[in-house]
């Protein structure tokens, strides 16, 4: 396994909290050992995210295969508790939803006049905005169209050459699978 670093995690767009946690555990990065993997899980690093975003498909498949039995057991053990959770919270959710709906209706009633005034003022402001920006947008569109046409003159032959290589590349990729 290659070295895992803060830079690698950022490159794969890990969330800031996970990057910070990783950096607190391995400020200089880590070439993971079995012990490091256990530490990562114990400390709360999202290893599922890491596997799915930073490892190749073959490694992801192995991770899924090795963890499948544990995942199935987890689901089996937690299913009754999950069912009880939903049973217990259903009534509270229904009551919340009822109160929220009533409060939302009251809010809409109270704010309707202000919303209507806002819409009226907003429409006038939007019309003025459109009037001011329209000539600039038209000029931009004219320049963009000319530039796009020039770009396509260069792009078209290059794309045709690229297309010639696609079938052999696809075949080569399929030979690996």
Give the separation between CA 77 and CA 98, rounded to whole angstroms: 33
Q: What is the pLDDT of residue 162?
A: 60
Q: What is the pLDDT of residue 163?
A: 58
Q: For the chain, list residues with pLDDT below 70.
A: 1, 159, 162-168, 170, 175-177
Backbone angles phi, psi at 4, to 5 degrees: -100, 130
Cα angle 64, 69, 73 (rounded to 5 degrees) comes to 125
Q: Where are the alpha helices (DSSP H) in 44-56?
A: 47-54
CB 8 within 8 A of CB 36: no
The 10s digit of each residue's pLDDT in 41-79 is: 999 999 989 999 998 898 888 888 888 888 888 888 899
CB 23 within 8 A of CB 6: yes
pTM exceeds cut of 0.85: no
Q: What is the pLDDT of residue 1?
A: 67
Q: CA–CA distance from 25 to each of 7, 84, 110, 115 (Å)?
A: 14, 37, 52, 51
Looking at residue 61, the DSSP 8-state letter turns out to be H
- Which pair of tokens denotes residue 51? 């596997």
3-state secondary structure of 2: coil
Q: In sequence order, what are the beta bridge partners of 128?
A: none
Q: Which residues of 139-160 are buried (b: 16+ CB within 10 A; e: fewer)?
A: eeeeeeeeeeeeeeeeeeeeee
Give the separation between CA 126 and CA 163, rounded to whole angstroms: 46
Q: What is the pLDDT of residue 177?
A: 42
């Amino acid at each position: 396994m290659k070295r895992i670093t803060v830079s690698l995690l950022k490159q794969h767009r890990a969330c800031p909290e996970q990057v910070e946690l990783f950096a607190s555990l391995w400020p200089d990065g880590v070439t993971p050992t079995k012990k490091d993997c256990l530490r990562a899980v114990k400390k709360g690093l999202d290893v599922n995210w890491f596997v799915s975003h930073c490892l190749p498909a073959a490694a992801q498949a192995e991770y899924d295969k090795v963890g499948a039995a544990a995942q199935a057991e987890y689901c089996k053990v937690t299913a009754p508790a999950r069912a009880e959770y939903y049973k217990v919270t259903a009534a509270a959710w229904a009551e919340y939803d009822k109160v929220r709906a009533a409060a939302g209706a009251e809010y809409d009633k109270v704010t309707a006049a202000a919303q209507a005034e806002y819409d009226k003022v907003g429409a006038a402001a939007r019309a003025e905005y459109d009037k001011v920006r329209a000539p600039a947008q038209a000029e931009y569109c004219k320049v963009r169209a000319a530039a796009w046409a020039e770009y396509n003159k260069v792009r078209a032959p290059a794309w045709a050459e690229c297309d010639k290589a696609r079938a052999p590349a696809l075949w080569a990729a399929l030979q690996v699978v």
